[in-house]
Amino acid sequence: MQRAVDLDRYDAAALAARSGVKWALHGGAALAAWVADMDFPVAPEIAAALVERVGRDDLGYPDRALAQSVRSAFASRSLVRYGHEVDAADVVVLADVVQAIWLCVLTLTDPGDGIAMLTPAYPPFLLVPEDTGRRSLTCDLVAGADRFELDLAALERLVREERPRCLLLCNPHNPTGRSFGRDELRAIAQLAREADLVVVSDEIHADLTLPGATHVPFATLSPDAAARTVTLSSASKAFNVAGLRCAVAAFGSPDLRQRFERIPARARGDVSVPGMLAALVAWSRCDGWLDAVLQRLASNRAVVVRWAADRPGQVRLLPPEATYLAWLDLRGAGLGDDPAGWLLEHAGVALSRGPDFGRAGSGFARLNFATPAPVLDEILDRMGRALDRRR
């Protein structure tokens, strides 16, 4: 039986005492709503499994069976939850999704190749081309009436003119919260086929798809899409265990996996026992906890949407369909390119800086709303009062 969890267990003072970077960066000087950690208690099943393992003093080198169990659990979950057929033999266990992105670019492309991505983009996407000697090619999403939309014509033009070798896709999308629809993804898949692109699909937020949306794994679109796709995932975001460092890369073909493994496993580093154990328990035994969290996130999203709607001309928010991230358009408030910096100084609230997500992030800030309801209320109240004074 799923044990109930008090998602409002921690107040702002208790959170400020945490040692993780989210709350430690600014100490008690600001309420933290930036990096993508949730402020909710960990699922009891995960906590119990970790305590039990420590209680047995059983933290030696992991047996290979544990990694195999993680691969199998991910494959099973992908099929049952999303209809995505994954061969566990083509799943590689890694430390985190960012590591997987770098390794994919290093092994599946060559120096000088173009790396395409949709912007605003998760900041590591923007860093990897420069770090690896590749070219960064960006295509901005377009703000529609009620959501950000793919500019397919612009993406086609970019691919035709710049001839990238790889597309870094973030679906669900960070920071806008888009859960791309099947038709949009099919259009991207057709373009990938025509241009022979490798698609590295970061689907770490798939389990955080909110009511009203449906996650479509890119690799499920067609056999061709599957064969050219590496799907990246982790329990870290949805189950709040990012510090334990465990992720997976699922290769749609043995050829992609073999090319990836040109960097030997020893050079990639091993994953810890606690990290693999947490992922295994999360993916096999914690869906009841996740359902409760998704309900709370939907409620918190509604609170943030109402708050933004009450400030026309200053704040615009296209409601996220997934994630616990709100991409706030604050250009109307006149706070400059980096509204997060202004809000940190004048409201005592730490958001993620919009410019870190690329040129398309100028005038924006990213708000993490995965926090207890009283803390979210205080975050929004502080921001609202600061904006009112500015008005």
Q: What is the pLDDT of residues 79-131, one digit of tens each?
A: 999 999 999 999 999 999 999 999 999 999 999 999 999 999 999 999 999 99
Tell me which of 285, 317, 337 is where a domain ends: 285
- How far apart are alpha carbons 210 and 179 in whole angstroms? 9
Same domain, 163 and 243: yes
* 47 in a structural domain: no
The residue count for the chain: 391
* Mean pLDDT value across residues 301-320: 98
Query: Residue 38, exposed/middle/buried by CB under 10 A (0-12, 13-18, 19+)?
Result: buried
Does residue 50 form part of some domain? no
- Assign residue 312 the CATH number of its domain: 3.90.1150.10
Instruction: Please determine, for residue 319, whether its predicted confidence score (pLDDT) is greater than 60.
Output: yes
Residue 68: which CATH number? 3.40.640.10
Do 146 and 35 lie in a common domain? no
Average pLDDT, the chain: 97
Alpha-carbon distance of 133 to 135, in angstroms, equals 7
Count CA within 13 A, CB hemisphere, residue 320: 33
User: Residue 260: which of 270, 250, 269 has the closest Cα?
Assistant: 250
Burial of 194 (0-12, 13-18, 19+ CB in 10 A): exposed
Same domain? 295 vs 173: no
Please choose, from the candidates 302, 335, 332, the residue with its C-alpha nearest in 3D space to the C-alpha of residue 320.
Answer: 302
Q: Residue 1 pLDDT > 50, yes or no?
A: no
Tokens, residue 378? 């205080």
Mean pLDDT of 157-170: 98
Task: Using the predicted structure, report yes or no on whether residue 363 has a pLDDT greater than 90.
Answer: yes
Q: Answer yes or no: is pLDDT of 314 > 50.
A: yes
Do residue 163 and residue 179 come from a single domain? yes
| Cα torsion angle, 178, 95, 229, 85, sign | negative
Residues 217-232 pLDDT 10s: 999 999 999 999 999 9
Asked whether residue 347 carries a pLDDT value surpassing 80, the answer given is: yes
Percentage of the chain modeled with pLDDT above 90 = 97
Residues 185 and 142 occupy one common structural domain: yes
Q: What is the rounded CA–CA span in Å between residue 236 and residue 213?
A: 21
Using alpha carbons, select from 100, 67, 71 the residue that is nearest to residue 87.
71
Residue at 321 is within a domain:
yes
Domain check: are 139 and 281 in the same one? yes
Q: What is the mean pLDDT of residues 354-360?
A: 98
* pLDDT reported for residue 391: 79
Here the tokens at position 232 are 């990246």
As given in the structure block, the two tokens for residue 294 are 């998704």
Decide if pLDDT at 3 tops 90.
no
Q: Which domain holds residue 337?
A: 12-42+287-390
E strand or H helix that includes residue 376: helix 373-390
167: left (phi over 0), alpha (psi -120 to 50) or beta: beta
Out of 285, 305, 324, a domain closes at: 285
Tens-place pLDDT, residues 25-40: 998 899 999 999 999 9
pTM for the complete prediction?
A: 0.97
Residue 330 is which amino acid?
Answer: L
Residue 247 domain flag: yes
Residue 2 has pLDDT above 70, yes or no: no
Residue 4 has pLDDT above 80, yes or no: no
- Three-state secondary-structure class, residue 262: coil
pLDDT of 44-54, one tens digit each?
999 999 999 99
pLDDT in tens, 135-148: 999 999 999 999 99
How many domains are there within the chain?
2
Judge if the upstream peptide bond of residue 120 is cis by omega within 30 degrees of 0: yes
> What beta strand segments (E) does 286-350 contain?
325-329, 349-350
Burial of 139 (0-12, 13-18, 19+ CB in 10 A): buried
- Give the per-residue pLDDT at 277: 98
Strands (E) located in 74-227: 91-94, 114-119, 135-140, 142-143, 148-149, 166-170, 198-202
Residue 188 CA, distance from chain mean position: 20
Q: Are residues 72 and 125 in the same domain?
A: yes
pLDDT of the residue at 5? 83
Q: Are residues 258 and 335 in the same domain?
A: no
pLDDT at site 27: 84
Q: Is residue 240 part of a domain?
A: yes
Among 264, 285, 306, give the residue marking a domain's end.
285
Instruction: Name the phi and psi angles at 136, rounded to 5.
Output: -90, 125
